[in-house]
């Protein structure tokens, strides 16, 4: 699949920054160069890429067309819609988000499907044969850059269930190759951080049970390392670092089990979630510095990366696990929402996921917005 020249530009890997609302990281846009294409403070009418894919955009109420704004792309779950995802994640709520442009993308219905509601993303078993959601994402980002004053160093992605799986197992893993590899897409290099929720991290082509189980040992391929030459004045470890990722999952999730499972019908494997997160930790540790070797942590000390576990107050055994040390602390975070939290977007308020059931002890959307604010490309 082809990624436009504009999207093939290799930006530097994510590094912490003070906050997402900090001063613009690139020159601001000149007055009148990018007039407001739709009203701020509300979800836009349907927008379409040149290939006919649908998306909608929410500009924050205080959006200034002369100042570069950060962007969050949000992907709904399987059989979902833009509208359902916007209501679920609440990222357009001005009490939560005053800075980010939020963009909602619509998945496709598989060719030949009789039910028009059964939309799915490229991560779904067999979907890669007929779906190019990486290309769709690239086209949307290109359209945003052409029409709005966006900050290319503060681009983020989140999603629920299959949308979260696309974010964490396809988009974040589209790391490409070295600079000399002309065929490398490297779309993940455009994003500063990722935050999948209840993600369906499908591993394809596992027709036998023993290719998946035990689910806490299955190999998880991912090209998340953003290898390239460091720019002038840039640390080599920043050029090679793995993308920051914040993942949420509930212990009572029966749709995408926390402990993983093998699915005979689709010949696919869902890995143990903590095992999946640890693969990111291993990737980050092995690539975080050009002067360390595999198995060294971010301080150059032999052994696994530092792990910090924090109990989530008010939850049923909920734990927030963060890996890393020094400047890389918290680069990989897994939030186990609790033993009683199902296939939900965690929230203390009632939403479409938790209606009639237990609510989480925290709001995932609040944590996502705050956590995205820690990272930008190129610092």
Nearest Cα neighbor of 54 from 94, 104, 90 is 104
- pLDDT in the model for residue 259: 98
d(CA 140, CA 172): 16
Give the 3-state secondary structure of residue 237: helix
- pLDDT in the model for residue 296: 33
- pLDDT in the model for residue 183: 36
- pLDDT in the model for residue 304: 56
Q: Which pTM does this prediction carry?
A: 0.85
Per-residue pLDDT of the chain (379 residues; tens, 9 = 90+): 433 333 333 333 455 544 444 444 467 898 888 889 999 999 999 999 999 999 999 999 999 999 999 999 999 999 999 999 999 999 999 999 999 999 999 999 988 788 888 999 999 987 767 789 999 999 999 999 999 999 999 999 999 999 999 999 999 999 764 444 433 468 999 999 999 999 999 998 899 999 999 999 999 988 555 444 444 454 444 445 678 999 999 999 999 999 999 999 889 999 999 999 998 887 654 443 322 222 333 333 334 568 899 999 999 999 999 987 776 778 899 999 999 999 999 999 999 999 999 999 999 999 999 999 999 997 5
- pLDDT in the model for residue 132: 93
Domains of the chain: 17-377 (3.40.50.1820)
- Range list of β-strands (E), the chain: 14-16, 47-48, 54-58, 69-75, 101-105, 150-160, 193-197, 245-249, 261-263, 268-270, 307-311, 319-323, 332-336, 375-377
């Amino acid at each position: 699949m082809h990624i436009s020249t504009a999207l093939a530009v290799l930006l530097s890997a994510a590094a912490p920054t003070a906050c997402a609302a900090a001063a613009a990281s690139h020159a601001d846009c000149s007055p009148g160069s990018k007039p407001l294409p739709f009203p701020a403070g509300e979800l836009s009418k349907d927008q379409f890429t040149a290939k006919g894919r649908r998306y909608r955009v929410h500009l924050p109420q205080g959006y200034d067309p002369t100042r570069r704004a950060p962007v969050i792309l949000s992907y709904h779950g399987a059989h979902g819609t833009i509208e359902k995802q916007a209501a679920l994640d609440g990222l357009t709520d001005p009490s939560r988000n005053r800075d980010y442009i939020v963009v909602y993308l619509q998945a496709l219905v598989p060719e030949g499907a009789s039910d028009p509601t059964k939309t799915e993303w490229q991560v779904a078993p067999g979907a890669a044969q007929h779906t190019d959601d990486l290309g769709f994402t690239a086209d949307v980002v290109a359209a945003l850059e052409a029409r709005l004053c966006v900050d290319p160093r503060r681009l983020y992605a989140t999603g629920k269930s299959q949308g979260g799986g696309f974010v964490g197992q396809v988009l974040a893993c589209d790391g490409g190759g070295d600079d000399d590899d002309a065929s490398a897409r490297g779309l993940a290099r455009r994003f500063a951080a990722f935050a999948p929720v209840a993600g369906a991290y499908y591993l394809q082509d596992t027709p036998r049970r023993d290719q998946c189980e035990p689910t806490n040992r299955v190999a998880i391929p991912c090209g998340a390392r953003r290898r390239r030459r460091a720019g002038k004045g840039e640390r080599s470890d920043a050029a090679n670092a793995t993308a920051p990722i914040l993942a949420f999952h509930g212990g009572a999730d029966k749709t995408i089990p926390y402990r993983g499972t093998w699915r005979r019908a689709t010949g696919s494997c869902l890995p143990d979630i903590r095992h999946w997160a640890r693969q990111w930790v291993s990737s980050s540790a092995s690539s975080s510095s050009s002067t360390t070797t595999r198995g060294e942590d971010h301080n150059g000390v032999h052994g696994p990366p530092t792990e910090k576990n924090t109990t989530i107050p008010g939850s049923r055994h909920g734990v927030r696990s963060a890996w890393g040390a020094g400047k890389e602390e918290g680069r990989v975070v897994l939030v186990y929402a609790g033993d009683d939290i199902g296939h939900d977007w965690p929230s203390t308020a009632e939403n479409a996921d938790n209606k009639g059931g237990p609510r989480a002890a925290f709001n995932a959307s609040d944590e996502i917005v705050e956590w995205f604010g820690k990272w930008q490309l190129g610092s």
